[in-house]
Structure 1
Amino acid sequence: MAICRSGRRSRQAVEILTGRGTEATDVTGGIVAWSRAGLPVVGPDGDDGAIA
């Protein structure tokens, strides 16, 4: 899975990866859309994460 803030860079990364034969999925709209949809953002320590 690829994810970035807005979805632009992750979409490009998925295109490159799939072009090389790797299975990859993009999170459409990035982490901002993910968060707006009410989905969890979790930090590396397991606590609530932050979107920079």
Structure 2
Amino acid sequence: MSAHKKNKEDLLNKQMIVRLTIDEYYEFKKYCLENHITINAFLRSLIKNAIKK
């Protein structure tokens, strides 16, 4: 069975700019690598958790 197709009208395309210093970026990247997640997945989970609360 094929995946459900989404209408463009149903999707929101938002961009967030996160500003980090070089040291903060490398620490954040190291954390994500240790937990086997991508930076985008980590930020997405933060947003989802914030919405649920």
Scaled by the length of structure 1, the TM-score of the pair is 0.33
Bigger share in helix: 2
| Bigger Rg, which one | 2
TM-score (norm. length: structure 2): 0.33
